[in-house]
Structure 1
Amino acid sequence: MQLKRIAYTLCLSAGTVLLSGVAVLAQAPGSPQQPTMPSQQPTTPTNPAAGNTGMGPGAYPGTAPTGQDFAEKAFVTKALEGGETEVQLGQLAQQKSQSNDVKQFAQKMVADHGQMADKWFKPVAQQLGVSEPKGPSKKDKKEIAKLQGLSGQDFDREYITMIVKDHQQDLKEFRDEAQVAQDQNVKQIAAQGSNIISQHLQLIEQIAKTHNVAVEGSKDMSSNQ
């Protein structure tokens, strides 16, 4: 009987020591803790200029495309078409214009819109799964053909008028997209693009004054930052 009591006491003592050891380990600094699953996985940082979007083609894995998705894809497609139009018009102006200021502006248009397409819009188009357009839209092709039939002051006047009108419309669309876009890459390139387009618009407004070309609404558009 005495031996049973001694054994029972030893068992209780061992159990107490074991529990105490567990408690000490749980409170010790640097002890490994059970990892918790985040409620939402962090998104990969994106850099549209470098083409590092962190997402593959389609950009919306596991989800059905929404009206917003289609709107953003349409914006990118139209921006690529418009950029190609500005490049072709700029190349044409460098050949046909007889005014140095128009030629210098046209050269800037070719460089700026070419870089915007290559560094911003084409990488984002790939991210969204958007096929790059093969060239300007049908409407823009008609404008290019119209300018090809002009020369001298007639060409300059029509080119200036066309660029002002196009940039007024583009500036509005880019600013609107920068406000409503949900895709952060689209929002970013729309905001950055609107700044460049605003600069172009201000430059062509000054050229329009120099050549006595009347344009409507450009002052309000370019100053509405």
Structure 2
Amino acid sequence: MTRLHRRRAIALATLPLLSLPSWAQTGASPSPPPADARASRADSGFMEQAAQNGHAEIEASRLAVQKASDPQVQRFAQTMVDEHTRLAEELATLARAKGVELPREASMLQRGRLKLLSTSQGDTFHRRYVEAFGIDAHEDTIKLFDKAAARADDPDVKAFASRGLPGLRRHLTMAKELPPPRGSASKGS
């Protein structure tokens, strides 16, 4: 190999290193947050569960945007996608700052409910989406956020939960006000 070819090979081999952060160039891991910034076990658990709940809500609502026949349900679902995505982004930022790795998908149980929802059609889809993801999921998430807002160890986690509660409560109210499926006599059927 000539001297010119060798220089080009070395230059090309080191090119990717120029765009990597310094910790990656040295082979070290990024430094974790300081010990006093790390989340407690309970706060980590809250963030992980909140992330799973958010993934489930977003996925179910994306299905509803596509499959719901009622325009009100579609609008509600799009609002859930938009607002839960923003909440998830805020949670991800908080989790990174606290050294918590969040789940990338809904829990196994939630994925089962999503699968059942995805195979539903018409009025059955409408009823399952509104009951399982509009009402039940929001009631569960409100309980989760209420507990964290009252008892979280970290003031940032507590503040995040407190900020999220008004929107979650509004979502629950919106879900309860959705019209029942056409074939239902009342919301409870």
TM-score category by the smaller chain?
0.7 to 0.9
How many Å separate the matches in 2 of 1:78 and 1:59? 23
- Residues paired across the two proteins, number: 155
Partner of 1:93: 64
**Percent of aligned pairs with the same amino acid:** 26
The code of the aligned residue for 2:188 comes to A
What amino acid does structure 2 have at the position aligned with 1:214? G
Which of 143, 152, 173 in structure 2 is aligned with 1:172?
A: 143
Compute the TM-score of the two structures, normalised by the length of structure 2: 0.76
Conservation of the 8 A alpha-carbon contact between 2:52 and 2:105:
yes
- Greater RCO (Cα-Cα under 8 Å, separation 6 or more): 2
The answer for the alignment partner of 1:214 in structure 2 is 188
Distance in 1, Cα, partners of 2:45 & 2:172: 23
Distance 1:59 1:140, change over 3 A: farther
Write out per-residue CA displacement over residues 165-204 of structure 1, whole angstroms, 9 at most, x where no aligned residue: 1111111110111011121110111011111110000000
Q: Which residue of 2 aligns with 1:132?
A: 102
2:128 to 136, 143, 158: 158
Aligned to 2:35: 60
Residues 1:147 and 2:117 are matched in the alignment = yes
Quick one: which of 160, 175, 178 aligns to 1:204?
Answer: 175
CA contact (8 A) 2:50 2:144 kept: no
Structure (1 or 2) with the larger CA radius of gyration = 1
Q: In the superposition, relative to structure 1, how do residues 171 and 142 fare at CA in structure 2: closer, same or farther (>3 Å)?
A: same
- Superposition TM-score, scaled by structure 1 size: 0.64
Name the counterpart of 1:194. 165
Q: CA deviation at 1:210?
A: 7.6
Amino acid at match of 1:126: R
CA deviation profile, 1:30-68 (whole Å, cap 9, x unmatched)? xxxxxxxxxxxxxxxxxxxxxxxxxx8445349xx8xx8
- CA distance, structure 2, for counterparts of residue 210 and residue 148 of structure 1: 17
Aligned amino acid, residue 164 of structure 2: G
113, 117, 141: which is aligned to 2:88? Answer: 117
RMSD: 2.1
Unaligned runs of 5+ in 1: 1-55, 216-225
- 5+ residue gaps, structure 2, are 1-30
Equivalent residues of 1:160, 1:213 under 8 A apart: no
Distance 1:158 1:133 in 2: 25
CA 1:59–1:121 in structure 2 vs 1: closer, same or farther (change >3 Å)?
A: farther
The one-letter code matched in structure 1 to 2:144 is E
Tell me the SS of whatever aligns to 1:207: coil
**More helix by proportion, 1 or 2?**
2
The aligned amino acid for 2:105 is G
User: 1:6-41: per-residue Cα shift (whole Å, max 9, x none)?
Assistant: xxxxxxxxxxxxxxxxxxxxxxxxxxxxxxxxxxxx
